[in-house]
Structure formats: C-alpha cells, structure tokens
Chains A and B, each alone.
Chain A
Amino acid sequence: MDIILTNYFETGAVILFGVGFATLMLHRNLIKKIIGMNIMDTAIFLFFIAKGYIKGKDAPIIINSFKGVDSYINPIPSALMLTGIVVAVTTTAFALALTIKLYNHYQTVDLEVILRMRGENND
C-alpha cells in the first residue's frame, strides 16, 4: 500500500489510462471515443515525464549561470515526450477528419448505427 501512495504520479497515470480506455470502449459516440484516445495518450505522457522528477531540484533552464549537473532534474523524458505530443495531436486531427467524412455519408456519429448499416451498401 505504501508503494502506491509514495509513487502517486505513476498511480495516477495508470488510473487515468484506465479511464481513457473505458471511455474508448464503452461509449457509442465517435467523438467521445476520440476523447478517450486522447486521455489515454496523456496518461502515458504523465507516466514517462514523472520518471524524470528528482525531489528538490530545479527545472532544467539556465537563467543566470550554470549550477552544475546535479541541481537540475532529468531533462530527457520531457524532450522525448514532446515528440509524443506531436504524434498524438496528428492522430487526433486525422481521426476527426475521418469522423467528418463518416458524418457526411451516414448523417450520424453513432458507431452502432454505422456498423449496422454495413450490409446494405456494398459498393
């Protein structure tokens, strides 16, 4: 139990991942599924960035003078997750464009209704 409470960043990230996954699976509206996908990706970024935190040290920005390597947190996870955020934004934009196309064809964003209409038009 203490392990869960001391690493509260990682616990929060895993709970958020579960929330995002449940939203992705259980809602019928496509826009809510895309929101769930975004929440899942944000949870993974939180997990990774929290791994770089060292208690009591500063953010890795040089303001007036360089204080030596030991007084800053680990900057590598933040730099890597910048790429991850870009990828998540691109995927969200693509998924939203596909939702607009589906709406133009079927006049609904409800996934069950769309899948039920599968057998009718096979062109």
Chain B
Amino acid sequence: MNKDIILKEVGKIIIPLVQLFGIYVIINGHLSPGGGFSGGTVLGTSLIIMHLIYGEDLVRSIYSRKKLLVGISSSLIFYTIIKGYSFLSYELELPHPPLGNFGSILSAGFILPLNIAVGIVVACVFYIIFSIFIKDEV
C-alpha cells in the first residue's frame, strides 16, 4: 500500500487541473482549436486516470454506471432537439439565439450548448469503454 502513496498525492493535485483544462477546451470551441470531441477526450482521460490510481470503488461511488448512461442519453436527446430546431427554423421563421459579440465566450448562437453536450457524451463513453475492457466482461 505504501508504494502508491506518491501516485495518490500527486493525483490529488493533477486530476482537478486536467479536468479544468478539459472544460476550458470544450468551452472555447468556437474561438480556438478544440471543441466538443477533443475536450471530451481530455475529460474521459481524467476519469480513466482516477480509475487507475484510486481503484474502481471510488469512481463508482461518484460516477455510477446509471448516472453515466442517463448523462449520455439526455445529452444526445438535447443535441438532437437543438439540431432539429436549427435545421427547420429557416422555413418556419422561428426566433434565433442571440449572436453576441465577436470573440467573447457567450456568442455564436447554438455552438456553445452543442459543444458541451458532445463533450459530456464523449467523456462518458470513453470511461465506459475503458471500464468494460479492464473488467474483461465484453
């Protein structure tokens, strides 16, 4: 047990920073390179590192399998509804979201919520695939 103590102490500092970086990449998707998929990958990697250092029980207690599945389905339904709305809104002349100032974070209409939805889906899927592989129960 003592062999892991360096990993656990360093992990306590590094894992929150990794997650913060992932959230930064997702939110700045419309201003700089990155966006939903790459930010989601970083967030998923942070969950995988947490599983490897602290063992499965800690991750299960915070992010249970049921919460991850509900997160995936609700993000996907949200994505589909907003995409459908934006595809059909030209014909029916429905109101548009505000475009905001150029270069600030709350701008560019629908891109920010869609990026967040994609990021959540990708992070959850990466972690679920990893946990299935490592448990050998495909």
Interface 0/1 of B122-135, CB less than 8 Å to A: 00000001001100
Our pick among A62, A82, A101 for the contact of B138 (Cβ within 8 Å) is A101
Q: Which residues of A contact B32 (CB under 8 A)?
A: 61
Listed stretches A35-43, A92-100, A109-117; interface member: A92-100
Quick check: B133 and A96 within 8 Å, CB to CB?
Answer: yes
**Cβ of A104 and Cβ of B132 under 8 Å apart?**
no
Contacts A61-B32, A101-B138 known; A93 to B37 CB distance under 8 Å?
A: no
8 Å CB contact of B132 from A62, A82, A97: A97
Q: Is B57 in contact with chain A by the CB < 8 A criterion? A: no
* Given A61-B33, A82-B37: A93 in contact with B129 (beta carbons within 8 A): yes
Q: Chain B interface: which size bin?
A: under 10
Please, which residue of chain A has its CB at the minimum distance from the CB of B118? A86
Tell me, yes or no, whether B136 is within 8 Å of chain A by CB. yes
Interface size class on chain A is 10 to 19
Task: Please indicate the chain B residues that have their CB under 8 angstroms from the CB of A62 in the complex.
Answer: 103
Among the interface residues B33, B37, B136, B138, which one has the most CB atoms of the partner chain A within 10 A? B138
CB pair A86 B37 closer than 8 Å: yes
Inter-chain contact A104/B37, CB cutoff 8 Å: no
Closest to A63 in B: B32
Which chain B residue has the least Cβ–Cβ distance from A61? Answer: B32
With A61-B33, A86-B37 in contact, is A100–B138 under 8 Å at CB? Answer: yes
Contacts of A101 in B (CB 8 A): 138
The minimal Cβ–Cβ distance linking B97 to chain A, given in whole angstroms, is 21
* Contacts A93-B129, A97-B129, A100-B138 known; 11 new A-B pairs at CB < 8 A: A61-B32, A61-B33, A86-B37, A96-B133, A97-B133, A97-B138, A100-B133, A100-B136, A101-B138, A104-B136, A104-B138
